[in-house]
Amino acid sequence: MADGGNAILVRMRRREQTGVKGTVRKRRVDRPLAVLAGVFTLAQLALVRPVLGLGWDEVVYVSQVTSHTPAAFFSAPRSRGVSLLVAPVASWSSSVPLLRVYLALLSGLALYLALRCWRGLFPTRVLVVGGAFFATLWVTLFYGPQAMPNYWVAIGGLISVGCFLRAREERSAPAVLWGVAAGATLMALMRPVDAVYVTAPLLALALLRRHWRLLLALAAGLAAGAVPWVIEAYLGHGGLGQRLSEASRIQGGLGWQIAVDDQLRSLGGRALCRPCIGSMPHPVVTVWWFVLPVLAGLGLVVAARARRLGRTLIPLACAATAALPYLFMIGYAAPRFLQPAYALLAIPVADALWHLVKTPGGKWRPVAAALVALGLAGHLAVQIAVLERTVARNTENRRDWDRTAGELHRLGVRPPCLLTGHEAIPIGYYTGCSSGATAGHNENTTPGAILRTARRLPVAHLAPAGGTPPGYARTWPVHRISDLDVRVAPPAPTGTR
């Protein structure tokens, strides 16, 4: 009995020691990741600044949950995930700075949690460098505090892929299965079709290797996130097939279309490149884009030599499928479209960079380390320069909308009211008006309905200066606001409203 009691005590002590060591190890991993997330949050607040007004797409998402402005038209490709994300603030406050601070804090926390999902798969230094690479891209800093979906698809991709890799190695850990499902749900809530592209390699591998629990977790996560989008398809778009067809039409028709050059043009800070014309940015702005696949290939070689190929090959495969539709299937570009691919490439690329600067034995390669440090410093400088220009341009554009809204108020166009024509959705939001379109991607009304509304409410049509107005607004008095011709419907005679 004494021996048995001693054995029990010994085992208990060993467990306690193992638990303490595990806790210390987790703290050593978590602390650098927490610092990185904190710096990322502060960088957003300092470089993008909370006073940046809402952009066009943000207006659409935020207006769905606000009480101070009418909801803008919600087209077929969009999903309600962003609206749910901003609802805790936007549903009761119209403060844009408050919304920006909330999203910056949330995006920093999300980056920390996503990188934690990779704990144990790569050394901490690799996770920190990979996270820093992704976090310091101008597109990540710019869209982190914005009400847009692509950053959150990237975070969901990191969570799902990291937990998927850990689940393959930790068969008895149910928590990572929940992580797989949670990441998939987040992606599908934000952009259901993108979620399918990101997880396609995971679904194929789980099916091929008969990892039924992983397959179920992925499928359940995707289904849970896509349910609102599918329900809305049947309620408002005539079915799932009709909604997908309509979404394809709005995006110019999905099919074989090479958009690689369009993505390159957008790297100079263009939020949307449609149509994507004009000269390419300076090579110093685009060089990192060509270095990225080379480093990813090197990371694959490093992983193969270290006999951990799956940890690198799987995220690279998911990055490739995430980028596929935006490089080869649409006829325009936006740099934010590739955020999920950049996030999944970041960790294998960081692994390759550490291989360049250190030998397998852990010794520094001084020349290589100096060159890599110089290259990363230059890359960071370029990203910040592009970010500053992008923020300045977008800030001015959104101030123009606000000034136009003030002039419309002076002309008597006050809520409740209706705007139609050029940039009616964002200017309508800033004015407090509904927005309407009789044609195009946001078609939601008819000329007859607009004229009937004009008998009850203030209505104005916006057009670029010198532009031809539609028939219903041709006789309305015209006013010049900045570079817009604004035609305001005359008040209906008393007794006809």
**pLDDT tens digit sequence for 293-317:** 999 999 999 999 988 899 999 999 9
Domain boundary among 394, 425, 444: 394
pLDDT band for position 87 (50/70/90)? very high
- Cα separation, 105 vs 116, in Å, equals 17
Give the Cα separation of 193 and 206 in Å (integer).
19
Residue 192 pLDDT > 70: yes
Is 245 part of any domain?
yes
Query: What pLDDT shows up at residue 441?
Result: 87
User: Do 102 and 187 fall into the same domain?
Assistant: yes
Q: Based on the structure, what is the number of domains in the chain?
A: 2
Same domain (yes/no): 6, 134? yes
Asked whether residue 342 falls in the same domain as residue 207, the answer is yes
Handedness of CA 389, 271, 320, 201 (dihedral sign): positive
Q: Give the residues across from 436 on adjacent strands.
A: 420
Q: Could you tell me if 390 and 437 lie in one domain?
A: no
399: in domain: no
For residues 416 and 306, state if they share a domain.
no
Closest CA to 60 of 101, 89, 90: 90
Do residues 446 and 383 share a domain? no
Residues 471 and 385 in one domain: no
Residue-wise pLDDT for 414-443, tens only, equals: 999 999 999 999 999 999 999 999 998 899
Q: Hey, how many other C-beta atoms are within 10 angstroms of the C-beta on 18?
A: 10
> Range of 329's domain?
2-394
The contacts of residue 473 (CB under 8 Å, 6+ apart) are: 420, 421, 461, 487, 489
Instruction: Name the nearest CA neighbour of 405 among 395, 384, 419.
Output: 419
Task: Please tell me the distance from the alpha carbon of residue 228 to that of residue 232, in angstroms, as a whole number.
Answer: 6
Q: Which amino acid is at 169?
A: E
Mean pLDDT comparison of 180-184, 275-279, 438-442, highest-scoring range: 180-184
Range of weakest confidence among 69-73, 334-338, 491-495: 491-495
For 216: left if phi > 0, alpha if psi spans -120 to 50, otherwise beta; the answer is alpha
The residue behind tokens 């009789």 is 438
Does residue 190 sit within a domain? yes
Residue 403 lies in a domain: no
373 domain residue, yes or no: yes
Last residue of a domain, one of 361, 394, 427: 394
**Residue 353 above 80 pLDDT?**
yes
Answer whether residue 405 is part of any domain.
no
Confidence of residue 172 (pLDDT cuts 50, 70, 90): low
Examine the domain organization and report whether 154 and 299 are in the same domain: yes
pLDDT for 20: 45
User: How much is the pLDDT for 174?
Assistant: 84
Rounded to whole angstroms, how far apart are CA atoms 414 and 49?
Answer: 29
The two three-digit tokens of residue 2, written as one number:
């004494």
pLDDT at 215 over 80: yes
What percentage of the chain exceeds 70 in pLDDT? 93
Among 363, 394, 425, the domain boundary falls at 394
pLDDT for the residue 206: 96
Q: Are residues 275 and 350 in the same domain?
A: yes
> In the prediction, which pLDDT does 28 show?
67
What pLDDT score does 494 carry? 61
Same domain, 108 and 56: yes
88 belongs to a structural domain: yes
**Band (277; pLDDT cuts 50, 70, 90):** confident
pLDDT tier for residue 26 given thresholds of 50, 70 and 90: low
Q: How does pLDDT run across 132-171, given as a tens digit for each residue? A: 999 999 999 999 999 999 999 999 999 999 999 999 887 7
The answer for residues whose C-beta is within 8 angstroms of residue 463's C-beta and 6 or more apart is 421, 422, 469, 484, 485, 487
Residue 98: its pLDDT value, please? 98
pLDDT score recorded for residue 278: 80
For residue 184, tell me if it sits in a domain. Answer: yes
- The answer on 270 and 210 residing in a single domain is yes
Whether 418 and 337 share a structural domain: no
Q: d(Cα 190, Cα 198) in Å, to the nearest integer?
A: 13
